[in-house]
Amino acid sequence: MAFKQILSRALRSRPDQILSSPSAFSAARAFSSAPITATLFPGDGIGPEIAESVKQIFREAEVPIEWEEHYVGTEIDPRTQSFLTWESLESVRRNRVGLKGPMATPIGKGHRSLNLTLRKELNLYANVRPCYSLPGYKTRYDDVNLVTIRENTEGEYSGLEHQVVRGVVESLKIITRQASLRVAEYAFHYAKAHGRERVSAIHKANIMQKTDGLFLKCCREVAEKYPEIKYEEVVIDNCCMMLVKNPALFDVLVMPNLYGDIISDLCAGLIGGLGLTPSCNIGEGGIALAEAVHGSAPDIAGKNLANPTALLLSGVSMLRHLELHDKADRIQKAVLETIAEGKYRTADLGGSSTTSDFTRAICDHL
Amino acid sequence: MAFQLLRRALTSRPDQIISSPSAFSAVRAFSSAPITATLFPGDGIGPEIAEAVKQIFREAEVPIEWEEHYVGTEVDPRTQSFLTWESLESVRRNRVGLKGPMATPIGKGHRSLNLTLRKELNLYANVRPCYSLPGYKTLYDDVNLITIRENTEGEYSGLEHQVVRGVVESLKIITRQASLRVAEYAFHYAKAHGRERVSAIHKANIMQKTDGLFLKCCREVAEKYPEITYEEVVIDNCCMMLVKNPALFDVLVMPNLYGDIISDLCAGLIGGLGLTPSCNIGEGGIALAEAVHGSAPDIAGKNLANPTALLLSGVSMLRHLELHDKADRIQNAVLDTIAEGKYRTADLGGKSTTSDFTKAICDHL
């Protein structure tokens, strides 16, 4: 029952439903038959193995993507002050789509964290995580089907802290109209593009009246432009309570940075963990960098044990962003069916298959 | 499994409590004089559930005399609130209280009731014991944790301003004093109630100075309690672990915002705010237990309300007063009644009235 619903919802977004005018969001390359170049960061630890899985499955599904692989360097590039080179960043800027595996930021000073570098340099302002129960992989929740959209540039994570006097510290939470409008616009655009019915803004404006109040004001302004989509506002503590009692109540959630961090990880927990959760970062000018949000798991690296599901489903998100919906549906269906069947499952899902067995099973299901 | 819960509830015996009079305990366990406690029945369903609590406490022969106070209809200029100065003095004098749901009237020129109580009584820690109720099935069977939330500063300091048009700032304040105070209470509570582990919840990887200071204070206090395991968990991991396996947690201590979120999340795990006890701890050992659900005006006066939250909050209050035998008796009676399933109010899926439910609990005493 849930399986059919999820497939039908996933298959509902057809190219003709997408806004046909080239918008800042879509790459509008659906009709070109030339292969699309996309940047691939395999990452560290289990990154290269699961990236290999993704490439294999995409090849099998005849996805018209050519990968441009980039690796994290071993020296700091002075132009980026990071282990990511200027060329890597330029590659994403040029290709406008990318897929990223788990990266472990090396310990040390004098450089920015890798995720921070990507976010700042590519102006990635929204983190989008589609969260749905995987049929066949049983958690306590069967009917999760929501998308969390998190503002990713400001809010509580502006990094502006200082000591007032000894023993008293302040941290600034910044909310701007520009950033709030930007993420709200994306949230409603996404909802419309993917046939979602409701957008919920999560806040604590009863206490933080000016900051969360401004965020809500911007969401309301955008909501007026989309009368066909229901808009509601939910206080963060109520939201968490509702999520653990009945997650089916939610559809699309749009949130400032901190609440987004908390809620998106909470929802990942509802469906089984970060190893199964796709994620996609949207940047100015329609850049999309999909990424697996789990860790690099160095203890099982190179042992053919890793679960490529998160990176695969993130790749599917990337395909949807590129409006290659047929290919996206095929691959997503194959992944869900393989997991539902239960014959081939990696260790983290309670099975004993290797990465290659799992990958081959998905290819067979294509 | 239910035995485990009862056993844990019964583990805190007076001889385990720190015997020296501390700032936290009321140390009246050996006095046979009745204790006066302030009671705010509140609005909506408040008076009915307060009546249920009084009835059960009488039946259990709890040595408490209630001093009832109601929210006024006019703003008292001394408190700038609908709560009168006399009400607040009553709590300060008695040092314990029980509060039902209060609906802050709409309007300006007065502070919210909860804010008034918190500021005037210097209530710095919100404590919510959260455990699965045997017999009331939720998706989680094995929740048994306490959330202790710093309640005076952090993100809720109310200091916001506009920088320029379209850019707003909000200040999150963390002080050493408030962090130490709540950490001290958390470890004291853990020791007093036989809990094994305290987890500090934070986002210090991003908010290095503020949450970093909070953690520093927790670590300092942890060193004074070597028998209690101390750990630090990032808030997003914590939420994920809570929805996957809440049995991993024991006592959680948190700054204000995370505490708000996590305590409501945990209430959701066990069935909602209608079943959740809560207790606010103030300077000088003041304890104001409260039901955290709303006043439910739609069912007010209809004998339909569920008094469980207020009852269990009353039990928290009794434990604070070290009246553990009475607390255990009443808590067992409540849990037995709900587990039995014969008498349940509408919100628990049954059809009993408040009075039937109350009588069933009295019978179980």
A69 at interface of B, judged by CB pairs closer than 8 A: no
B243 at interface of A, judged by CB pairs closer than 8 A: yes
Residue A26 tokens, joined: 């879509």
On average, the pLDDT of chain B sits at: 88
The SS3 assignment for B233 reads strand
Contact (CB, 8 A) for B310 and B291: yes
Lowest mean pLDDT among A104-108, B32-36, B102-106, B247-251: A104-108
Contact (CB, 8 A) for B78 and B19: no
Going by DSSP bridges, is the β-strand pair B123-131/B144-150 parallel, antiparallel, or unpaired?
antiparallel
Kind plus residue range of the DSSP H or E element containing B264: helix B256-270
- Tell me whether residues B207 and A156 touch, CB distance under 8 A: yes
Identity of the residue in A168, A207, A268 whose CB atom sits nearest the CB atom of B175: A168
> Who's near B148: CB < 8 A, 6+ residues apart?
B125, B126, B127, B182, B185, B186, B189, B251, B252, B253, B254, B259
CA-wise closest residue to B17 among B240, B275, B191, B246: B191
Could you read off the pLDDT of B80-124 as tens digits, one per residue?
Answer: 888 888 999 999 999 999 999 987 766 666 677 887 888 889 999
For residue B59, the Cα-to-chain-centroid distance in whole angstroms is 24
pLDDT of amino acid B14: 39
Chain A nearest-CA residue for B160: A210
B210 at interface of A, judged by CB pairs closer than 8 A: yes
* Prediction ipTM score: 0.85
pLDDT of amino acid A23: 45
CB contacts < 8 Å between A and B, how many?
155
CA-wise closest residue to A180 among A148, A149, A226: A149
- Using CA atoms, how far apart are residues A154 and A136, in angstroms rounded to an integer? 38
- Tell me whether residues A163 and B209 touch, CB distance under 8 A: yes
> Number of C-alpha atoms within 13 angstroms, CB side, residue A337?
15
B244: which chain A residues are within 8 Å (Cβ-Cβ)?
139, 269, 273
> Who's near A315: CB < 8 A, 6+ residues apart?
A54, A58, A99, A290, A331
pTM, rounded to two decimals: 0.87
For residue B314, the Cα-to-chain-centroid distance in whole angstroms is 10
> B338: buried, middle or exposed (CB in 10 Å: 19+, 13-18, 0-12)?
buried
CA-wise closest residue to A251 among A149, A336, A139: A149
C-alpha distances (whole Å) from A89 to each of A40, A127, B67 are 11, 18, 69
Contact (CB, 8 A) for B150 and B184: no
Could you read off the pLDDT of B196-237 as tens digits, one per residue?
Answer: 999 999 999 889 999 999 999 999 999 999 999 999 999 999
- Tell me whether residues A170 and B268 touch, CB distance under 8 A: no
Q: How confident is the model at residue B7 (pLDDT cuts 50, 70, 90)?
A: low
CA-wise closest residue to B197 among B214, B218, B177: B218
Judged by CB atoms within 8 Å, which residues 145-174 of B form the interface with A? Answer: 155-156, 158, 160-163, 165-174
pLDDT of amino acid B295: 87
A177 at interface of B, judged by CB pairs closer than 8 A: yes
- Using CA atoms, how far apart are residues A156 and B309, in angstroms rounded to an integer? 33
Minimum distance, in Å, between the CA of residue A215 and any CA atom of chain B: 10
Concatenated DSSP letters for A78-141?
TTTTBSS-HHHHHHHHHH-EEEE---PPPS-SSS--HHHHHHHHTTEEEEEEEEEPPTTS--S-
A241: which chain B residues are within 8 Å (Cβ-Cβ)?
264-265, 267-268, 272-273
A81 at interface of B, judged by CB pairs closer than 8 A: no
Going by DSSP bridges, is the β-strand pair A287-291/A280-283 parallel, antiparallel, or unpaired?
antiparallel
> Number of C-alpha atoms within 13 angstroms, CB side, residue B172?
28
Amino acid at A317: S
Residue A15 tokens, joined: 């190219």
B247 at interface of A, judged by CB pairs closer than 8 A: no
Neighbour-count burial for A326-346, b at 16+ CB within 10 Å, e otherwise: ebbbbbbbbbbbbbeeeebbb
Residue A285 tokens, joined: 């000018």
Chain B nearest-CA residue for A176: B167
Q: Which residues of B are catalytic?
A: 156, 203, 236, 260, 264
Identity of the residue in B140, B160, B212 whose CB atom sits nearest the CB atom of A208: B160
pLDDT of amino acid A8: 56
- Tell me whether residues B244 and A168 touch, CB distance under 8 A: no
Preferred mutation among A105, A181, A208 to probe B, highest tally of B CBs within 10 A: A208
- Which stretches of chain A are DSSP H helices? 2-10, 47-60, 86-95, 114-121, 177-193, 211-224, 236-245, 257-271, 309-321, 325-341, 355-365
- Tell me whether residues B240 and A274 touch, CB distance under 8 A: yes
B242: which chain A residues are within 8 Å (Cβ-Cβ)?
244, 266, 269
The SS3 assignment for A352 reads coil
Residue A103 tokens, joined: 């990266």
- Using CA atoms, how far apart are residues B64 and B36, in angstroms rounded to an integer? 6
- Using CA atoms, how far apart are residues A36 and A322, in angstroms rounded to an integer? 9
Can you say whether the dihedral through the CA atoms of B125, B131, B137, B141 is positive or negative? Answer: positive
The list of chain A residues with pLDDT below 50 reads 1, 13-24, 27-30
- Using CA atoms, how far apart are residues A265 and B263, in angstroms rounded to an integer? 17
Amino acid at B216: K
Q: Percent of chain B beyond pLDDT 90?
A: 70
Judged by CB atoms within 8 Å, which residues 265-294 of A form the interface with B? Answer: 265-266, 268-270, 273-274
Contact (CB, 8 A) for B82 and B72: yes
Q: What angle do CA A46, A49, A51 make, to 5 degrees?
A: 105
- Tell me whether residues B209 and A245 touch, CB distance under 8 A: no
Contact (CB, 8 A) for B49 and B310: yes
C-alpha distances (whole Å) from A292 to each of A133, A309, B114, B215, B313 are 17, 9, 43, 29, 44
CA-wise closest residue to A236 among A314, A156, A172: A156
Can you say whether the dihedral through the CA atoms of B13, B17, B23, B29 is positive or negative? Answer: positive
Does pLDDT of B147 surpass 50? yes
- Using CA atoms, how far apart are residues B32 and B62, in angstroms rounded to an integer? 11
For residue A271, the Cα-to-chain-centroid distance in whole angstroms is 15
Q: Which long-range contacts (CB under 8 A, 24 or more apart) does B3-12 make?
A: B5/B131, B5/B132, B5/B134, B5/B144, B5/B335, B6/B332, B6/B335, B8/B144, B8/B194, B9/B328, B9/B331, B9/B332, B10/B328, B11/B193, B11/B194, B12/B192, B12/B193, B12/B194, B12/B319, B12/B324
Amino acid at B133: L
